[in-house]
Amino acid sequence: QSALTQPASVSGSPGQSITISCTGTSSDVGSYNLVSWYQQHPGKAPKLMIYEGSKRPSGVSNRFSGSKSGNTASLTISGLQAEDEADYYCCSYAGSRVFGGGTKLTVL
Amino acid sequence: QVQLQESGPGLVKPSETLSLTCTVSGGSVSSGSYYWSWIRQPPGKGLEWIGYIYYSGSTNYNPSLKSRVTISVDTSKNQFSLKLSSVTAADTAVYYCARDVRTAMAPDYWGQGTLVTVSS
């Protein structure tokens, strides 16, 4: 199983919206609505932000949303805030689990 | 609220076996709703899923690591463990244990992580 493909970095200004893509194949992202997204601040454990493609765990801001089209899943963060600056990882079910390579979000 | 805590040696010699334990509090490894996973992150790199175990003892491993990995569970101690054999410097990483929601196929609660360095 190969890692899912994410852009290495994205950036945006406070208040703007950004989208992070996560491209897989018909064997993982394309076959299951089981993509999750994680936020990781430096030196911290990852935090679940989205599961089952578009569902938010309790306590996660509604500024975070997820979607999927074909073999590509996306995470959108609206109303960017300074504290959103972090690394973001996607993860898909594929009989097992496969992660994306991660995207560094910079809030300008 | 469930909490997970990794424990084990922070330094392992090349060719030896890495052994870590995850102690779960605030929840039970015997719950049928969850898998119990190990995930690692080499310094400065991304996340890699290692594998998971169900309370019954059934396992699922990353194919790239399968020949070297063993995950076990001890329901009496509310713990699960990881063994990775024949380690090399490439196995140096922060190792996380996590609770994995079966229906969502997503790790939701994670331990703080423990750095394991492979070096002589």
Instruction: Work out the mean pLDDT of chain B and round it to a whole number.
Output: 96
| A20-79 pLDDT tens trace | 999 999 889 998 889 999 999 999 999 999 999 999 999 999 999 999 999 999 999 999
The position carrying tokens 């024949």 is B86
The residue with greater pLDDT, B71 or B102, is B71
Task: Kindly list the residues from chain A whose CB atom is less than 8 angstroms away from the CB atom of residue B97.
Answer: none
pLDDT confidence bin for A96, thresholds 50/70/90: confident
For B75-91, what is the mean pLDDT?
Answer: 97
Q: Exposed, middle or buried: residue A63 (CB in 10 Å: 0-12, 13-18, 19+)?
A: middle
Average pLDDT over residues B39-52: 96
Q: Which pLDDT value is given to residue A1?
A: 66
Give me the pLDDT at residue A2, please: 77
Q: What one-character DSSP code corresponds to residue A41? A: -
Q: Do B46 and A91 touch (CB under 8 A)?
A: no
Say which residue the tokens 């200004």 belong to: A13
Give the mean pLDDT of B54-67. Answer: 94
Do A66 and A37 contact (CB within 8 A), yes or no? Answer: yes
Express each pLDDT in B61-72 by its tens digit: 999 999 999 999
Cα–Cα distance between A38 and A88 in angstroms, integer?
Answer: 5
The whole-angstrom distance between residue B18's C-alpha and the CA centroid of its chain comes to 11
pLDDT category at B73 given cuts 50, 70, 90 is very high
Who's near A50: CB < 8 A, 6+ residues apart? A35, A36, A37, A56, A60, A64, A65, A66, A75
Q: Is the pLDDT of residue B120 over 80?
A: yes
Q: Is B90 on the interface with A (CB under 8 A)?
A: no
In B, minimum Cα distance to A52 occurs at B104
Cβ–Cβ of B106/A32 closer than 8 Å? no
pLDDT tier, B117 (very low <50, low <70, confident <90, very high otherwise)? very high
